[in-house]
Amino acid sequence: MVWQTKYTLYSLGVALLLVLLILWSGRSETQDASGTREPVHLISVEQMALDVTVEAAGSLKARDQVVIFNTLEGKTTILSLVEEGTTVAKGDKLIELDASTLQDRLVDQQITVQNAEASFVQARENYEVVKNQSKSDVEDARLAVTYAEDDLRKYEQGEFPNEKKQLQSQIAVNEEELRRAEEKFEWSKVLFDEKFISQTELQADELAAQKARIDLELSRSDFDLLLKFSHVRRLTELHAEVDKTRMALERIRRRAKADVVQAEADFNAKEALLTREKARLEKTRDELGKTVLVAPQDGVVVYATSHSRSWRSNTEPLAAGQEVLERQELIYLPSSGSMVAESQIHESNLEKVKLGQEARVYVDSMPGKSFHAVVKSVALFPDATSSWLNPDLKLYRTELELQEHDDGLRSGMNCRIEIDVAHLEQVVAIPVQAVVLEGGHRYVYLQKNGRLRRQEVTLGLSNESFVEITEGLKAGDRIQLNPPLTSMGG
């Protein structure tokens, strides 16, 4: 609401009448410094009682009232609302907002939640499967390493020594057989020379000796092959198998860990997604609940648009079919009979207004009647709306609590306030229009010896009509009520 400073007709009439009387009584002609004669209006400076007040326009509102806001996000449309001025009880429906979009959103969100739950269950089961499979793969790889190490130890400590001993034993047997075959062959040659055996028997013994010699050479050759080639190759293969299975174990461990981490991340993501979608579902349900606004207490319905006007000139009264915004004030429910006058004080009067000052409130609809009030609050910063409309205009929101009550008072009524700043007894005071501001100094035009001369003065307190003079004038001085626009000599 943009507050505009105004005055009642009777105060304007009194001030105008006073000015006319002064002008009439002091009308004369005096020669100025340039030598031309211009009509001037002179008045005598007098001592008087001066009531210093600050006046401003305002409106009434309940001191204690509940504000009903639109808490839905974005814009929404009013479907129905209770009539202004209706007395409602706690729990009565005040406003119903359009819920069609939210109902569609609720159905869509329910489907989204079901899909999220299915994805969550699948991710959870997959996570367990991956953990079990990874554990199984690691155990298999660990067994493979164990078997490879066992094979290596079995060969080094069993197979190779046994095979070596067998070959060594075979060599020893073949050596003994060769010795016997050679001895037999030598004896057979003696017997053959003595004609005890035949040529055939001698040749047979010779062949037996040759065969024993060849068998010995073969067994020795097998032993050399075992030591130089077979053993080395087999040992290399077994060591390689151990290394391979160990590397496979490490690879499977890493892959299993990565699979588990990936499955866990997917599970956590699906769980977070499900939580978020459930929260959205609950939010949508909560938003649906906000489409019906009920009275939190007993009271009389006052539309917010009736109590305060926006700076937008096209603001319409609250009605069905109207679009409203989030956090927009819709309805006021006064909770007590006490009233507050809300106004805005111009920055020029800000220093005069203090908390606890007495004031009078004049309600436009109750002419001739005033209500005693007390200043309860003065804003620290100027009103943003008035500053936006006019950067040079600084108005400060001020609230005054009425100390009296009347059943005829209603929220939103226009009023005028008069704040008592001070009551001065027998001070030198002159009309405010007699003072001229020039170069940061205050001047009046004082008559001396039939001529008007500029006289600097020091000002004290003032009201809308008179200002106190603390230095520069005394009672009985004659000054010009309508000072000239151009400077005169001092």
pTM: 0.53
The pLDDT value given to residue 62: 83
Confidence at residue 485, expressed as pLDDT on a 0 to 100 scale: 62
- pLDDT, residue 34, reads 40
What pLDDT shows up at residue 487? 54
The CA-CA-CA angle for residues 339, 341, 342, to 5°, reads: 130
CB count, 10 Å around CB of 450? 7
The per-residue pLDDT for 205 is: 87
Q: Where are the beta strands (DSSP E) in 295-440?
A: 299-300, 302-303, 323-325, 329-334, 339-346, 358-363, 370-378, 395-402, 414-431, 436-438
CB 162 within 8 A of CB 231: no
Greatest Cα pair distance in the chain = 196
User: Averaged in consecutive runs of 10 residues, what is the pLDDT profile of the chain (490 residues)?
Assistant: 36 46 44 51 90 89 85 91 89 93 94 96 96 95 95 92 91 92 89 87 90 92 90 93 95 95 96 96 93 90 72 64 91 81 89 92 92 94 80 89 86 89 90 89 90 91 87 91 65
Give SS3 for 163: helix
Q: Which pLDDT score is estimated for 239?
A: 94
* Cα atoms in the Cβ-side hemisphere of radius 13 Å centred on 204: 6
Q: Which pLDDT score is estimated for 22?
A: 46
Give pLDDT, residue 12. Answer: 41
User: Could you tell me the two tokens for 302?
Assistant: 């006052």
Burial (Cβ within 10 Å: 0-12, 13-18, ≥19) of residue 241: middle
- Backbone phi and psi for residue 293, each to the nearest 5 degrees, phi listed first: -100, 125
